[in-house]
A and B are shown apart, each in its own frame.
Chain A
Amino acid sequence: MIALSPAQQSYWDWRAASNFLGGGAGGGLLIAAALDAVFLGSDFRIAALIALGLIGWGLFSVWMEIGRPFRFLNVFRNPKTSWMSREAYAALPLFAFGLASVAFASIWVLVLAAGFAAVFLYCQARILFASKGIVAWREAAIVPLIVATGLAEGSALLVAIAALSGAPVLLPAVLTIAFAVARSAAFQTYRHRLEGQSLPAQLRAALGGLAGLTRSLGLAGAGASIVVGVVFYPALAGTALLIAGALAALAGGWLLKFRLVCRFAHVQGIAIAHTPARGGGAAGPAIKPGWTP
C-alpha cells in the first residue's frame, strides 16, 4: 500500500539488516585483527574465521531475502553504478585472502583481506546512502556512521575473543574505545544534520531515543566496562567485564543498524507543491503530510 505520510519501508526486513550487522561486525573484526597481528604479532586465525563467518551470515541472509535467489550471480553485473554490485566484488577477494591468511598463517595476506574488508564496509555504508527513497538513509553523514560502528563492533568482538583466549587485550580495548568514541561522534553529526532539516515527524521523534540507546550502550556500557576490565584482566572479574563491555559495544552497533533498516527507514511519502485551482477558485497551499519543518 502506498503511504501518503512517511511510513516504515516494507521491502527490507531483518534479513537485509543482517547483512549490515554481520558484514559490519565481520569487516570491522577482520580489520581489528589485522592491526592486532601487525603491531603485536597476535594469533589472528580464530578472529579471522569468526569475521568471515559473520560476513558470510550477512550475505546468506540477504540471499534468503531476494526474490530470485538462484540468479544471485547477476548481482555482479553493475559495478559501474551500483554499490551492491561493488560490495559483492569486494567480498570475493575478502574471502579469498581471508581464508588464505588462515590457511598459511600469513599476517600480510590478512592485511590484504582487511583492506578488502574496509572496502566492503564502505560499500555497505554507500548502499544505504544511495537509497534516495529513504529519508534517514540519504543523509551523507550515515556513511561515516556505518563505517565507524562496523569498526567499533569488530574491535569489540576482538576484545571478547582475546579475553576468552587469554591473549593480550590492551590494543583491542584501545581500538574499541577509540572506534566507539568515533561512532558516538559520527552519530551526533548524523543526528545534528538530520534534525537541521525537514523530517518525517515519526523520525524526528525517534532520533532522541536512538541517541540515548547509542550513548548508553556505546560509551557508557562499552567504555567503562572495558577500561575497568583491562585493569583487572586476566582475573575472572576483568575477563567478565571485558566481555560485557565488548557485548555492549556490539549490541549498541547492531541495535543502531537494525533500527536504521527496520524501524526508522521511512519512505518519502506523497507531496504536492500546490493544491489545484478548481472551477472559479484559486489554487491553494502545498500538502506534505507527516513532515515537520
Chain B
Amino acid sequence: MTRYAMVVDLRRCVGCQTCTAACRLANATPPGVQWRRVVDMEVGTYPDVRRAFVPVGCMHCDEPPCMAVCPSTATRKRDDGIVTIDYDICIGCAYCAVACPYQARYKVEKPLYAYGEEPTENEAERDDPRRIGVSTKCTFCVDKIDAGLAKGLTPGKDPEATPACVNSCIADALHFGDLEDPDSNVSRLLAENSHFRMHEELGTGPNLYYLWDQP
C-alpha cells in the first residue's frame, strides 16, 4: 500500500513563495486561486518575537471532510491517499469548501487570466475550462505522479514524478514521498524530527506534516 504525504520543514522555509509561483505556473491557476501558498505568521511582542513561514494547501486528509459531504462523489480519495476532484461531475455547490478546515478549495465562476482579458502562453496551454464553476484544489500534481510512475520513477525522489512546489523549493523545506515506505525521505524525516499536523484535533488526519525541531 502507498500513502503519499508532504513534509514541510518550518525551520528551513524562508517565505520566498517560489513554491507558490511554481504551482501557479504548473497548474495555470487563475488570479485569486493559490493551491499552494505560504502564510507569514508572527507571535509575541518586542523583543521576544517569533515568526514562521507556513506553506499550506490541501492536506489530502486520511478522513477528508470534503469527501464525506460531497453530494456528487466528485471528491474522492485514491488508494495512494491523494484526494482528487472529478471536474466533470462536480456541481459547484461549494459544500466541500465550507467543510474543509484548511481553506484549501476554490471556486471560480468565469475565466480569469493573470494579465487582462487574454491568457498568457502558459495559461493558454495549461488552463482547463472544466475548472470553471467547480471546486478546485491542490492535486499533489497527480498527473505528474501518475506519468512518472508509469515510467518507473519514484515520486518524491525523481523530480519528473514529484509535485512542482517540492521541486521548486530553494531551501529544501518541502519534501514528498510515501509514508508507507519506512526508507522514504518523508518517513525518515518524520522519524528524525519533531513534527505536528495542522488542526489535528478535528480528526481529519492531514497528510501534510510540519517539522519544527529535532526530536
Contacts and interface: CB of A to CB of B under 8 A. Distances in A.
Given A4-B39, A276-B212, A84 B69 contact: yes
A77 B72 contact: yes
B11 A277 contact: yes
A231 interface: no
A137 B103 CA distance: 15
A275 B71 contact: no
B98 A74 contact: no
A137 B69 CA distance: 14
A282 to B, nearest CB: 8
B189 interface: no
A1 B98 contact: no
Contacts of B99: 130-133
A133 B103 contact: yes
A130 B50 contact: no
Contacts of B54: 270, 272
B46 to A, nearest CB: 14
Nearest to B100: A133
B91 A67 contact: yes
A81 interface: yes
Interface in B122-155: 132-134
B42 A71 contact: no
B24 interface: no
Contacts of A69: 91
Given A1-B32, A272-B210, A12 B73 contact: no
Given A133-B101, A276-B212, A285 B91 contact: no
A132 B74 CA distance: 19
Given A11-B107, A285-B50, A83 B69 contact: yes
B133 A77 contact: no
Contacts of A82: 68-71, 95
A133 B95 contact: no
A2 B56 contact: yes
B43 A276 contact: no
A273 interface: yes
Interface residues of A, number: 52
A96 interface: no
A134 B214 contact: no
B39 A62 contact: no
Contact of B103 (A81, A267, A273): A267
A180 to B, nearest CB: 28
B194 interface: yes
A72 interface: yes
Interface stretch (B157-165, B179-187, B198-206): B198-206
Contact of A270 (B56, B93, B109, B133): B56
A224 interface: no
A167 B82 CA distance: 60
Nearest to A283: B213
Contacts of A84: 69, 71, 93, 95
Interface string A183-218: 000000000000000000000000000000000000
A140 to B, nearest CB: 14
A248 B210 CA distance: 51
Contacts of B69: 81-84, 127, 130-131
B212 A275 contact: yes
A265 to B, nearest CB: 7
Nearest to A88: B71
A11 B98 contact: yes
A72 B50 CA distance: 48
Given A12-B94, A133-B101, 12 more contacts: A62-B93, A66-B92, A67-B132, A68-B92, A71-B72, A75-B71, A130-B65, A133-B102, A270-B39, A272-B196, A275-B212, A276-B212
Task: Pick the 8 closest A-B CB pairs, nearest first.
Answer: A67-B92, A67-B133, A276-B10, A74-B72, A11-B94, A273-B196, A84-B71, A284-B50
Interface of A: 1-4, 9, 11-12, 62, 65-69, 71-72, 74-78, 81-85, 88, 127, 130-134, 137, 265, 267-268, 270-278, 282-287, 289
Interface of B: 9-11, 32, 34, 37, 39, 41-44, 50-52, 54, 56, 65, 67-74, 89-95, 97-103, 107, 109, 132-134, 194, 196, 198-200, 202, 204, 210-214
9 contacts: A68-B133, A81-B67, A84-B71, A133-B97, A273-B200, A274-B212, A276-B212, A276-B213, A283-B212
